[in-house]
Amino acid sequence: AQAHIDALEKARVLNAYLLETPDRALKMAEASDAKIAKGEAGPLEGLPLGIKDLFCTEGVTTTAGSKILENFEPHYESAVSANLWRDGAVMLGKLNLDEFAMGSSNETSAYGGVISPWRRTGSDVKIVPGGSSGGSAAAVAAHLCLGATATDTGGSIRQPAAFTGTVGIKPTYGRVSRWGTVAFASSLDQAGPIARTVRDCAILLGSMAGPDARDTTCVDLPVPDFEAAVSRGVKGLTIGIPKEYRVEGMPAEIQKLWDDGAAWLKDAGATIREISLPHTKLALPAYYIVAPAEASSNLARYDGVRYGLRVPGRDIAAMYENTRAAGFGREVKRRIMIGTYVLSAGYYDAYYVRAQKIRTLIKRDFEEAYAAGVDAILTPATPSSAFGVGEKASADPVEMYLNDVFTVTVNMAGLPGIAVPAGLDGQGLPLGLQLIGRPFDEETLFATAEVIE
């Protein structure tokens, strides 16, 4: 813990941590020492972790990357972090993120962007770590924690993992409790770990996951021994390659990486089969209707009355307006407006209901592939390597949304997905592959990702 605390101080230029909690870390580490001495060590005893600042931590400021929660001190602990502390982990601090987890580059954080520890060969242009879990990914990549919590609504675990050469898994919807995690889009949100190896991810997910009656969508299933699954191998598995993911304009090096990934799995004993997921191209537009719709509903609670910031006004309506105008950033306001629009009378059927129907079709595509004997699906994690700070943020917002093309399908279908580092591009930046699994079969993902890693 002390070594990590020292490392954090030297790496503040990355802006990965919004809050460092060294005193708490040392106290927790001491308690761990005592447990180890007594032979009562938990599975994560003494391991220093970073917590994305979307997870409520009791008595420790939790901002969700937003000004509106600048001084919010929860009086309860999220289920995910509580599970980690139960197993002995040590909290180093709270990690930066896109505001309310809305973004793909960490540039929408009200507290400034995160800088990736990676650079293009021979260049000092600052690179984004991806988002929204940019702080988590940068901190793990820069050795500023052993692992981190993250959340994924449309790719926010897998895309930053791919951009930083780390491993990140979004478990099946319902595997991990959402209780005490600040909500973005409740039917898509799922927490998971980012870590430096597949095995570390398996160990962390084993602690984070589990039934929780406080989240009614959290399933009552036992948590498998994920770590044991890591070394299972891929012999006898059928891996699907969906032809619709061969999108126009995909860089040749990403296509090559994808082909290499398939070849490695084949060499290790898997059967590779081309498959079709015909509704893939509808996933991104449908996601950018469903996610803002749910966000507009979830974010209605930030009204200046119950949480964080309050900017007074002459009456209550003016107080709401002033609070939200000052408290929310541009991207969050854009999402609230889109969400409110697609849910409004007269547009609801044309947008929201259609997006929900598309969601069902996307889910069916996957169900058919799995019913036909496919065990996991291999795709690139992102359509490009990490971009430079400011390179996409200033452009049309749709340009940024397009980065999520390979990840949002997985959330729309509620499936597990893992991003695993698979190589470097011509500029020396990491590239990741994604594996998508059957519902509640994270074990096959760990086994398959381990072969690629």
Q: In the complex, which residues of this chain contact ligand GLN (CB under 6 A)?
A: 101-104, 132, 152-156, 184, 291, 404
Chain residue whose CB lies nearest ligand GLN: 156
Nearer to ligand GLN, 84 or 157 (CB): 157
DSSP-derived letter for residue 128 is -
* Cβ neighbours of residue 81 closer than 8 Å, sequence gap 6 or more: 51, 55, 56, 57, 91, 149, 180
Cβ 354 to ligand GLN shortest distance, Å = 19
**Edge to edge, what strands does the sheet with 90-95 contain?**
17-20, 90-95, 48-52, 147-152, 190-195, 167-170, 417-424, 430-437, 376-380, 238-242, 271-275
- Rounded Cα gap, residues 63 and 97, in angstroms: 10
Cβ 286 to ligand GLN shortest distance, Å = 13
Nearer to ligand GLN, 60 or 97 (CB): 97
Cβ 154 to ligand GLN shortest distance, Å = 3
Element (H, E) at 423: strand 417-424
Cβ 29 to ligand GLN shortest distance, Å = 31
- Crossing angle for the helix pair 252-267 and 442-452, to the nearest 10 degrees: 100
- Rounded Cα gap, residues 62 and 43, in angstroms: 26
Active site residue 52: yes
Nearer to ligand GLN, 144 or 332 (CB): 332
Q: How many residues does the chain have?
A: 453
Cβ 103 to ligand GLN shortest distance, Å = 5
Nearer to ligand GLN, 93 or 192 (CB): 192
Nearer to ligand GLN, 128 or 241 (CB): 128
- Rounded Cα gap, residues 23 and 381, in angstroms: 37
- Rounded Cα gap, residues 269 and 237, in angstroms: 8
Cβ 274 to ligand GLN shortest distance, Å = 28
Question: Taking the mean position of all CA atoms in its chain, how far away is CA 36?
Answer: 32
- Rounded Cα gap, residues 12 and 326, in angstroms: 27
User: Which entry of 66, 104, 109, 156 is annotated as an active-site residue?
Assistant: 156
Nearer to ligand GLN, 155 or 165 (CB): 155
Active site residue 156: yes
- Rounded Cα gap, residues 446 and 233, in angstroms: 9
- Rounded Cα gap, residues 353 and 370, in angstroms: 26
DSSP-derived letter for residue 300 is G
User: Which entry of 32, 66, 109, 132 is annotated as an active-site residue?
Assistant: 132
Catalytic residue positions? 52, 132, 156
